[in-house]
Amino acid sequence: MKNRLTKSSDNKVSQKAVKSEKVKSEKVKKERVKNLKDKRVTNSLISWKVLLFSLLVLYIFMLGQALIFNANENRITTLIGVLVYYLCFTCLVLAVLIGVFWRYFIGRPLKKLSDGARRVAEGDFTVQIPENNKNGKNELDVLIEDFNTMTRELNSNEMLKSDFITNVSHEIKTPLAVIQSYTKALKDGLVSKEDEKLYYDTIIEASQNLSNMVTNILSLNKLENQQIFNSPSPYPLGEQLRKCALNFMDKWTEKNIDFKIEVIDIDINYDQSLIEHIWNNLLSNAIKFTKDCGEIILSSYQKDGYVFVTVKDNGIGMDEETKNKIFEKFYQGDRSHSQEGNGLGLSIVKRVIEIVGAEIFVESSPNCGSLFTVKLKI
């Protein structure tokens, strides 16, 4: 008896579970159908003018048919013959009207899309199809808009690709040319004993710059193409900031920079290795653009469920044009390239910021230093 009761109760539970699963699946289906509807579509493919015109044509044909019936009411044979000819004429006129409608409202936009797609396939990413959004958008208008957006993105990516290749080739050629010319001078005995050390130091510096650039290119390429990252885990942010700062101690002491660390001890939940890219590149930039005996402040504070990390220096600063371009690949505010670096550090910072879903803010003005602020969730 007990076994029967338990079985019946189990059956009831299983039936409830099945019903709840069905309800959930129906809700999911309804949500999917809602999501399939594009909110940008505000107009139907067949306008009210076309619809009224179609109704008018049908009314005229029906009126003609009524007149034929009235005129040949007592002549069945004649009535049948006239109706056959009339129906053939009606079908011909409707076919012509449907053809005109298709060609004008659907065929022309599709022809433009077809021509545009062919040009894109041939490598022309500047294609833009004229949009007609005066009376709202129908499905074809939305398709044309998406096509134009796609070609703009493809054209932008192509320009970035060509600029990237040009910059890489230029940046690699420069240290290679230095290494080649200085090594040849040493080999041919054109350098005095007093200048040999200077030449060797220059070669070592050029090779280090080349090595750093290749490392940064590989890091940036990996970050841009990597889809799977380590799972975030809690770790102490203050400890990480101190370690990153101490890694640059030789550089800031060499320039007699007054380096201040004012960070709070708090845990954050991120991929530690990714976040470390941010601090290393921001600190490296601050030291590079701060003059001898300058000041750098690394600080952090908590506010509204976020932790803000700031890197402030009193270096050369940036104008508005430079500030708007600093996250672009290979862009360097120092146009003379007198400073070490290759313009990839802040590109890496920007990519990491995008990956982890953080935010970065920049404040700067010429000769007044720069302030980088990173906003992270706690």
Q: pLDDT band at 331, cuts 50/70/90?
A: confident
- Classify domain 233-377 at the CATH class level: alpha beta
Average pLDDT rounded to a whole number, residues 322-338: 70
pLDDT at 227 over 70: no
Residue 2: pLDDT band with limits 50, 70, 90 = very low
- Compute CA distances 349 → 133, 165, 280, 368, whole Å: 40, 21, 9, 22
| pLDDT tens per residue across span 61-110 | 777 767 776 776 667 766 676 767 777 877 887 788 777 777 777 778 88
* Angstrom distance (rounded) from CA 332 to CA 213: 13
Domains of the chain, residue spans? 1-33, 48-154, 165-225, 233-377
- What's the topology of domain 165-225? Helix Hairpins (1.10.287)
User: Is pLDDT of 165 > 80?
Assistant: no
pLDDT bracket for residue 20 (50, 70, 90): low
Q: At 13, is the pLDDT very low, low, confident or very high (cuts 50, 70, 90)?
A: very low
pLDDT of 54 above 90: no
Q: How far is CA 15 from CA 23, 142, 164, in A?
A: 12, 45, 61
CB 40 within 8 A of CB 137: yes
Other C-beta atoms lying within 10 Å of the C-beta of residue 66: 10
Examine the pLDDT at 35 and tell me if it is beyond 50.
no
